[in-house]
Structure 1
Amino acid sequence: MFARAPLKFWFPIVLTVSFVAGVDVRAQQAAQPKPPPPAVTVVTLKPKTVTLTRELPGRTTPFLVAEVRPQVSGIVERLLFSEGKMVKAGQPLYQLDDATYRADLNSAKASLTRAQARIEAARLTAKRSAELVKINAVSRQEDEDATAALRQAEADVKVAQAAVDSAEVVFKRARITAPIQGRIGKSSVTQGALVTANQTAPLATIQQLDPIYVDLTQSSAEILQIRKEVAAGNLASTADVSAAILLEDGTEYPHRGRLAFSEVTVDPSTGSTAIRMIVPNPKDLLLPGMYVRAVVSTGQRHNALLAPQQGITRDPKGNASALVVNAEGKVEARKVKVSRAVGDKWLVEDGLAAGDRVIVEGVMKVKPDMPVQATEAGAAPPAAAAPVASDQAK
């Protein structure tokens, strides 16, 4: 059997082996290559002219509205239209009992005939009197009376003619016609109903829907802000006064509206002003009272910077920031100020400049001052860099 060696004999050997093993591990770690910089995708900001828009809520209203009311009294004999259909201006709608008005017209015509007969007799009398007064066969007074009688007969004819015209108007009003062209609604009366002249309740309502109005509202604060930006030169007015119309389901209406007028008074109860637009409506797709939104141009911003929304982050307080790649290829954090969304981008007011490369992909794997490998969005990714070995491995 071998004698057990004392502990002091093995201790130097263990230290030597441990030292050699440690040196070998450090050499292997030094020989491992450094990882390449993380790859990120960037978008280089370029100034451009942007047309700024605003969505305004509104309601549709008819272009023309006419409430049909009788101008004479009578019993409704017939309805001459189909409810819900298109009617033309002057088209008969209701026929009232016109027997009384027909009799009045005939009486007026008879009075006119009688007056015309009297004027003929007065004319002959005045003519004879004018001849006789020349030879002193009648007095001058009698001649003047004959002339006056002729003038009175002529006036009676005019009065009778006016009575005929008036009776004719009343007689024609027994047939109620459409005052405008448009779509007529339901009738509030039926055959046999008694209607009175200028009654409060309309018999029916006609609405012209092509074109149609869209009444929008815009807050006075927005109007004031736009005017301030125009005055400061930050916003240029545009000649485009048309607007896209968005329906209740979010789809865009196929026809654009044009500005009709803008109200000059602010409603004190709502703090907003009214804007009216005219929109073509050939297929009656827009109906009165529908809720719509109009995308209205508020002006143009020259040299505007638009940053992709995925490149802008916000902290819990809502402050916006962005990560950019500087000229040294390192990440730099920027506090930015954005005002509104333009499509899928933010309109930058402060914090970024033209030429800045904003990181849009790979934001979560980088931090400030870290070197990165940037690729422009839409460009082909660069070839992977070969691992770099440390000099300590040599």
Structure 2
Amino acid sequence: MLRETDCKGKVKIVKSHYYFQAIAPVAVLLALAGCNRKAAPPAMPPQQVSVVTLRAQPVEIHTSLPGRTEAFEIAQVRPQVSGVIEQRLFTEGTDVKAGQQLYQIYAAPYQAAYDSAKGQLVRAQAAEMTARAKLTRYGQLVRAHAVSQQDYDDALAAEKEAQGEILTAQGQVERAAVDLGYTKMNAPISGRIGRSILTVGALAIANQSNNVAIVTRLDPIYVDVNLPATELLRFRRELAQGRLQREGDNAASISLQLEDGTTYEHAGRMEFSEVNVDEATATVVVRAIMPNPDKLLLPGMYVHAQLTEGTDPQALLVPQEAVSRNSHGDPQAWVVDQDNKVNLRQIQTSQAIGTNWLVTDGLKSGERVVTVGVQKIHPGATVTPVEAQPAGKAG
């Protein structure tokens, strides 16, 4: 009989035989070696990743610029003559028209000055009539040698002096009329008037430094935005090439996004004339003109101006989750080739459009980029790509 030990240490009794006796030691050694040898692990399947196949598509390109609204026109109402305010003839916070009377200053002293100036004019005119008649008579007498030449010259000078007095009196009448007119304080422009600083009974001082009210024209309204000087040059080139939507000469179409996130319903235009570059920041302030018929926009509001640059007919949009950054901040994306192998590629992006990046270099139409599963792959690895939703168009 022969004792045999299996891999689990159990002993089995087998029948003896000369042949088996000869190979028994070898069999024991082979059995023990088999116990120490482990089975090879099965091969891992390729990592499954979600991919998006890029497709060129027309995309409308916008540029967002921060800015603030400014009044199109603003006028400070100040008294031109001194006096007590008798009446306030407007309602605060309402619209007024150019030339509309706002205040009435006590006018009696100015009316009296006007009447006196007119009296002086009438007196000067009467004196001129007398001097002119005398000059006419002396003209006849001097030719008959009835008066001397000196008397005629004196009459001529008196008539000229009387004409001068008339001009002086006329000037005084006009000045008095202007002062009398200033007792009626009128709106210099059409717009919305704010609160009144002075009340009825208050003393207004001529040419005082403080205004008594402010009139602001709200329709249209300016939007001042800041952008780098290099961007301004690019915009001007795009205007010249016709890539920007035009609304008149040297203007680009613009829309606004308000502070609450809503889009302003009226479109305006941006003008690039009469701007200076800030030497400290290398930026320029450019001005957009927006219609404001409902007076929704008020001066001082913070807005985002959306400049419509045009449509790129062959734009490539890549989901933002497919784009990562290297240690230098450069954008990169994982690309799956025809053999389902992945490689990390450097790309260039210009701006975010919705939930996508607009790619300008590094990728082309038809290529597949990884959107989900990048944490488990490495360059050259084989993957199982699963098509995800394609990159959407800009809204």
- Could you say which TM-score interval applies, normalised by the shorter chain? 0.7 to 0.9
Aligned to 1:180: 189
Q: Does 1:159 align with 2:168?
A: yes
Distance in 1 separating the partners of 2:327 and 2:160? 99
The 1:119/1:331 distance shift into structure 2, 3 A limit, reads same
Aligned to 2:294: 283
Distance in 1 separating the partners of 2:51 and 2:63? 31
CA RMSD of aligned residues (A): 3.6
Residue number among 346, 349, 370 corresponding to 2:382 in the alignment:
370
TM-score by length of 1: 0.76
CA contact (8 A) 2:221 2:292 kept: yes
Amino acid at match of 2:286: I
Amino acid at match of 1:335: R
Query: Alpha-carbon deviations, 1:315-371, whole Å to 9, x = none?
Result: 78866443444334x232232323232333212244322331334567789875536
Distance in 2 separating the partners of 1:190 and 1:303? 65
Alignment of 1:294-333 (within 5 A): 294-297=305-308, 303-313=314-324, 320-328=331-339, 330-333=340-343
Amino acid at match of 1:131: Q
CA contact (8 A) 2:54 2:364 kept: no
Query: Alpha-carbon deviations, 1:6-34, whole Å to 9, x = none?
Result: 81049x9xx9xxxxxxxxxxxxxxxxxxx
CA contact (8 A) 2:335 2:368 kept: yes
The 1:236/1:140 distance shift into structure 2, 3 A limit, reads closer
Residues 130-139 or 79-88, more deviating: 130-139
CA contact (8 A) 2:51 2:371 kept: yes
SS in 2 for 1:127: helix
CA contact (8 A) 2:78 2:207 kept: yes
Aligned to 1:334: 344
Distance in 1 separating the partners of 2:49 and 2:310? 39
Distance in 1 separating the partners of 2:179 and 2:210? 21
Amino acid at match of 2:362: G
SS in 1 for 2:126: helix
Alignment of 1:51-70 (within 5 A): 52-70=61-79
Aligned to 1:19: none
Distance in 1 separating the partners of 2:373 and 2:204? 78
Amino acid at match of 1:54: T
Distance in 2 separating the partners of 1:45 and 1:104? 84
Q: Which runs of 5+ in 2 are unaligned?
A: 1-11, 21-26, 28-44, 247-251, 391-395
Distance in 1 separating the partners of 2:60 and 2:286? 20
Aligned to 1:251: 262
Distance in 2 separating the partners of 1:39 and 1:94? 76
Q: Does 1:119 align with 2:128?
A: yes
Aligned to 1:206: 215
Residue number among 8, 18, 33 corresponding to 2:14 in the alignment:
8
CA contact (8 A) 2:49 2:374 kept: no
Relative contact order higher in (CA < 8 Å, ≥ 6 apart): 1
Distance in 2 separating the partners of 1:75 and 1:326? 87
Distance in 1 separating the partners of 2:192 and 2:46? 73
Deviation at 1:292, TM superposition (A): 0.7
Aligned to 1:107: 116
Number of equivalenced pairs: 348
Distance in 1 separating the partners of 2:85 and 2:383? 90
Distance in 2 separating the partners of 1:248 and 1:373? 42
Amino acid at match of 1:127: T
Q: Does 1:170 align with 2:176?
A: no
Q: Which runs of 5+ in 1 are unaligned?
A: 1-5, 16-34, 379-394
Amino acid at match of 2:90: F
Amino acid at match of 1:69: R
SS in 2 for 1:148: helix
CA contact (8 A) 2:335 2:345 kept: no
SS in 2 for 1:190: coil
CA contact (8 A) 2:332 2:344 kept: yes
Amino acid at match of 1:370: T
Deviation at 1:212, TM superposition (A): 0.7
Amino acid at match of 1:351: G
CA contact (8 A) 2:69 2:300 kept: yes
Amino acid at match of 2:53: V
Amino acid at match of 1:157: I
SS in 1 for 2:318: strand
Deviation at 1:214, TM superposition (A): 0.9
Amino acid at match of 2:54: T
SS in 2 for 1:72: coil
SS in 1 for 2:134: helix
